[in-house]
Structure 1
Amino acid sequence: MPRVPRPVAVLARSGLLLAAASVVIFLCTAALPGDAADTLVGGRATAAELDRLRAEAGLDDPLHVRYLDWLTGGPGISLITGRPVAEVVAERAAVTLALAVAALAVAVPLTVVLAWAAVRGPRRLRQVVNAVIVSGAALPQAVVAAALVAWLSAAWGLFPPVSMLPVGEPPWHRPDLLALPVLTLALPTAAYAAALLRGAIADVVDRPYVRDAELRGLSPGAILFRYVLPMVAAPAARLLAVNLGGLVAGTAVAETLFGLAGLGELLVTAISTRDVPVVQSVALLAAAVVVAGLLAADLVAPRRHRQAARP
């Protein structure tokens, strides 16, 4: 049997993973108690009227029919507002994208610094950094947000405590309004990623070619960027992909606390109103971001690994 090329195998695996994610998302939304018909009528409709609304929305169709309709029919129409789901998601995506990209821009270098310091710093510094990593990864976003508001807004007056963007203004035009929610997302993400990445870095720095580089007098920075980071590219890229997907779907706390209308806040609202097409679209978008990141990691990381292994 001819061997399947690696890119084809990776693409096939990613497609299967995304298909499995769509099944899980659909089953989870189908298991939610109640439906959008109950929300629309607010308990003031007769049983016959509820049955009519459910039939018009397709809520009474068998599960497999609803799943196939979702796959073949696209995002569909919001059951609550009657607007196209793609239009609703596109309106909110700019805010969440700006938050996620800015949070990653802060979290990625901070992750590298924390993980490297936790492994290669002086002994006292390693103890402090490891304590910071563990405590930072364990803190809920709400606690981080409260601390940032207390320090950076109330005490020092650096940023406004509420981040409500003017209507129609792109979020990147007001970086002062994004600072606190970005830090709320970036700090726990960096601590969590550093906690996972420090083990991989500790394994790499014990390898002979790294010790040989130290004996040849290379600086710690050169060793980090030339030998260590390329060798941990695969786990780091996968970790980055998962964190990016988590940021896309997990901005609900930051967006709610700081008054930002993004995908996270939209997801929370859609779940509470049982607006299933919106829930499914936002959740599948987050899953697609994770799968795309994992795909890129699988395709790129082995090449970087081979390049790093060269003397």
Structure 2
Amino acid sequence: MAADGARFGGVPRVIVRAGALLSCASTVIFLITEALPGDAAVVRSGGRATAEQLDRLRAEAGLDRPLAERYVSWLAGTLSGDPGHSLLTGRPVAELIGQRMPVTLTLAAAALALAVPLMAILAWAAVGGPRPLRPVITGLVVGGAALPQVALAALLVALLSAAWKLVPPVSLLPAGEPPWSRPALLVLPVLTLALPAAAYGAALLRGAVADAVSRPFVRDAGLRGVSAAAVALRYVFPVVAPAAVRLLAVVAGGLVAGTTVVETLFGLAGLGELLVSSVGGRDLPVVQAVTLLAAAVVAAGLITADAVALAVDPRGGAAR
């Protein structure tokens, strides 16, 4: 019975939690997007259609159906891999997302690859670095986490582009060209995404690192002359790994969401820019699909985090 309970409280529970998260996210996303003022029929008509023409456009788009019916239809289509068609262009939503996804994935992956080691270094330095520098590092972490992306983007453009002429100020890619073919165009948007994410992650991870460092076996390792790097890798990392992976799940989801601002600022045609234009056009199927995709990224990260927690401490992971 105990083994069955642990098994139920472990991997199956992780899957149930992820499913519940996505279910709640889909409901919230659908209701919020449906509550947006105006609709695609008004946008398509340019505000010049009569009431009868608007009714016909709404009927063609299925906007005249009851809310519950539209939700069930959208959810069934999403689960089957067909989130519908754009209300403005008539193109399949999956096709639109597939065209924009390489840009966003490249940005998010590059930003995550930069943010993760920087986050770990800052969190460790704020706790285990030289004592005179700890308050300075902590201040930089808190300030960086609070700095708006727009302000950071302006600062980076002023320094790296206007003053030092190192990279172009915008990232307009030729049509059909993969984003990784021109790395210089990605420098500013990647830094704009990665630096605040690293600071935010370090601010949250700092507490877990401080708790791990205060444990007796970690202090004993330092007294025995073990180097700071070895202490961090051998003793601190296993303790903070579950919390760190959970944090990475949130950071990864935040990076995907953050591309909305960054892609718009730097002229990149990714999912973020698609989301902004779709919200403006009240293209609900596109808005719902893109936002649900961001929620799915967070859910996938949380599943991975719970799996890591179970691997590190099966009893603790099951208890959670």
The TM-score range, normalised by the shorter chain, is: over 0.9
Q: Deviations over 1:24-60 (max 9, x none)?
A: 0000011111100000001111101101111111111
Q: Deviations over 1:63-102 (max 9, x none)?
A: 1100110011231000001100000011111000000000
Q: How does 1:147-162 map to 2 (within 5 A)?
A: 147-162=155-170
Q: How many pairs align?
A: 306
In the TM superposition, what is the alpha-carbon distance from 1:117 to its structure 2 partner? 0.7
> What is residue 13 of structure 1 aligned with on the other side?
17
SS of aligned partner of 2:298: helix
In the TM superposition, what is the alpha-carbon distance from 1:104 to its structure 2 partner? 0.5
2:29 is the alignment partner of 1:44: no
Q: Which amino acid in the other structure matches residue 301 of structure 1?
A: A
> What is residue 32 of structure 1 aligned with on the other side?
36
Contact 2:10–2:310, Cα closer than 8 Å, also in 1: no
Q: Which amino acid in the other structure matches residue 12 of structure 1?
A: V
- Distance in 1 separating the partners of 2:207 and 2:20: 30
> What is residue 176 of structure 1 aligned with on the other side?
184
- Distance in 2 separating the partners of 1:296 and 1:83: 34
Q: Provide structure 2 residue ranges, at least 5 long, that are not aligned to the other structure.
A: 315-320
- Distance in 2 separating the partners of 1:213 and 1:253: 45
Q: Which amino acid in the other structure matches residue 120 of structure 2?
A: V
- Distance in 2 separating the partners of 1:87 and 1:237: 32
Q: Deviations over 1:176-231 (max 9, x none)?
A: 10011000000011111111000110011000110111122111001111111221
- Distance in 2 separating the partners of 1:269 and 1:33: 15
SS of aligned partner of 1:157: coil
> What is residue 199 of structure 2 aligned with on the other side?
191
> What is residue 271 of structure 1 aligned with on the other side?
279
Q: Deviations over 1:249-286 (max 9, x none)?
A: 22121111111011111111111110000000000000
Contact 1:248–1:286, Cα closer than 8 Å, also in 2: yes
Identity %: 66
In the TM superposition, what is the alpha-carbon distance from 1:297 to its structure 2 partner? 0.4
- Distance in 2 separating the partners of 1:190 and 1:294: 18
> What is residue 106 of structure 1 aligned with on the other side?
114
> What is residue 62 of structure 2 aligned with on the other side?
58
- Distance in 1 separating the partners of 2:283 and 2:99: 17
In the TM superposition, what is the alpha-carbon distance from 1:5 to its structure 2 partner? 5.1
SS of aligned partner of 2:64: coil
Contact 1:231–1:305, Cα closer than 8 Å, also in 2: no
Equivalent in 206, 222, 235 of residue 230 of structure 2: 222
Q: Provide structure 1 residue ranges, at least 5 long, that are not aligned to the other structure.
A: 307-311
- TM-score, length-scaled by structure 1: 0.96
- Distance in 2 separating the partners of 1:67 and 1:230: 43
- Distance in 2 separating the partners of 1:304 and 1:224: 16
In the TM superposition, what is the alpha-carbon distance from 1:305 to its structure 2 partner? 4.8
- Distance in 1 separating the partners of 2:191 and 2:91: 33
In the TM superposition, what is the alpha-carbon distance from 1:301 to its structure 2 partner? 2.3
- Distance in 2 separating the partners of 1:305 and 1:101: 29
- Distance in 2 separating the partners of 1:150 and 1:7: 49
SS of aligned partner of 2:207: helix
Contact 1:238–1:294, Cα closer than 8 Å, also in 2: yes
2:151 is the alignment partner of 1:132: no
Q: Which amino acid in the other structure matches residue 180 of structure 2?
A: W
Equivalent in 68, 74, 92 of residue 72 of structure 2: 68
> Any runs of at least 4 consecutive aligned residues in structure 1 with deviations exceeding 4 A, and if so which?
none
- Distance in 2 separating the partners of 1:300 and 1:235: 9
- Distance in 2 separating the partners of 1:238 and 1:27: 27
> What is residue 213 of structure 1 aligned with on the other side?
221
Contact 2:86–2:93, Cα closer than 8 Å, also in 1: yes
226-235 or 185-194: which moved more? 226-235
> What is residue 309 of structure 1 aligned with on the other side?
none
In the TM superposition, what is the alpha-carbon distance from 1:302 to its structure 2 partner? 3.0
Contact 2:145–2:199, Cα closer than 8 Å, also in 1: yes
- TM-score, length-scaled by structure 2: 0.93
Contact 1:249–1:263, Cα closer than 8 Å, also in 2: no
In the TM superposition, what is the alpha-carbon distance from 1:128 to its structure 2 partner? 1.2
